[in-house]
Structure 1
């Protein structure tokens, strides 16, 4: 396979370095995928600690005959200037670049323009149906460790999980902090855009508008009208999201739809790697352990793409 350096958004305000992995033995046009990151600044390998899930996916899928495009996230490269943008939204942070990436693949003469897929991980999975609707126009959607819920609901659940693991003294302090955050999140959808842009909710820079704009474009609304193939995967030991609320939430919304495939993987974490500690409080230690995306996951994605 060959790794070709590309630029996503060449000629725009935010050009990004990317890599296009092309399989060696290509007979005719090949299918291809765009990899879309989860939350926070991230490089093209989606590096977390000593793990590189997007690199694993790119190498694994290209060995199966699938082209894979990955790239640095906009907030990694341009984070300093973007943090002062009061109108920062997932559209600017993620969606625009994913659409540009899909367009770049469409122009490649080696790739079947009718077989371009999106693999969204975590927040990228939550956004994948919206990316498709707003111009990605994919042949199918793969959601890895995503959620049909609002982003702030997931963050509050994560905070409560940490709270429940603390001793009595720290629990008291944390409970107050979480109650303050909960009140802020509760008010977000009552605010005007201008109010939301001038209100910070997390740290010094994350504005209420980021959550408000995302909450006005719910995954649910896109998925319920979607008829193209969708593959939803989750690790059973994923402590960032919930099997019951998230994987189960997708099933509840989409159970009667023939176009959706679900798979839950025993003992895999949020990166679709073997679970180490299985505890959100130990997430840093979990991701320090160098591992690889489970081979079964790569096989399943590849089989699904070729079956569509």
Structure 2
């Protein structure tokens, strides 16, 4: 295995540092997989607390004969500049760079052009079908701990979970805060784009960010897909749930034979062993240094090599 420094989105306003890991082997072209991070600013290793899941996945897959580029997320490097852009959407935040990454792979002499896949984790998994449709044109799609729901639905659902874990008095206070939070999303889809761009929700994020993403639901792309899809989830994931997310994928794709599903016992949102298993202890959960489960990496490698 060797590592090659790359620049994703080179020649644009937002060039990003990246690393391409390539298996050993002369005169040989390898399958490859583009990694797409979850929500929020994130470095190329998708570092969360003391864990680096994308480095684990890249190293593990490369050992299995699969090349893997990973790169800093645009908001991780240029977040201060981008927060002033009222038109910012997931397209600028995530989609464009993922397409630049696959285009870089298509020009690389060591990559098999017909065997380039995508792994979207969490928020990245939500966007993976859209990235494919808008220019990724992958050989297959892998969704790790993703969701077919709208982003605001997930946020409100996580708030509800938090409320239910509180004592009676705190629950009463939190319910008022959550009611105020959910009110911000009222009339989201009846606003014009200009109205949505003018409306701040929280932390400088505009209503347009949610509206634009919600106007492109994952289900719309998934139902049209004929290429292979692999959907993975940890049973102890408290951010994406079996009932609302994993099972929802099955409902949307019930008529398709091109989909593989796998649940992993005792694994959390990062596909690492569950420590506390509670959303209230999310920071403590990810402060424990661990590695992505080897079985997960083996299953992904086997699926890629079989497709």
TM-score by length of 2: 0.99
Q: What is the match of residue 43 of structure 2?
A: 43
Q: What is the match of residue 232 of structure 1?
A: 231
1:122-144: CA deviations, max 9, x gaps? 01000000000000010000000
Gapped runs of 5+ residues in structure 2? none
Alignment of 1:120-199 (within 5 A): 120-199=120-199
Say if 2:104 is the partner of 1:99: no
Most deviating of 297-306 and 175-184: 175-184
Deviation at 1:28, TM superposition (A): 2.0
Structure 1 CA distance for aligned equivalents of residues 103 and 26 of structure 2: 21
1:151-208: CA deviations, max 9, x gaps? 11111011111111112222122111100111212321121111111112222x1111
Cα RMSD of the aligned pairs, angstroms, is 0.9
Q: Secondary structure at the match of 1:188?
A: coil
Q: Secondary structure at the match of 2:185?
A: helix
Runs of 4+ in 1 over 3 A off after TM superposition: none
1:44-66: CA deviations, max 9, x gaps? 00000000000000000000000
Q: What is the match of residue 25 of structure 1?
A: 25
1:273-297: CA deviations, max 9, x gaps? 0000110000000000000000000
Structure 2 CA distance for aligned equivalents of residues 113 and 247 of structure 1: 30
Retained in 2: the 8 A contact 1:25–1:65?
no
Structure 2 CA distance for aligned equivalents of residues 31 and 68 of structure 1: 9
Structure 2 CA distance for aligned equivalents of residues 9 and 288 of structure 1: 32
Structure 1 CA distance for aligned equivalents of residues 299 and 78 of structure 2: 35
TM-score by length of 1: 0.98
Retained in 2: the 8 A contact 1:26–1:65?
no
Gapped runs of 5+ residues in structure 1? none
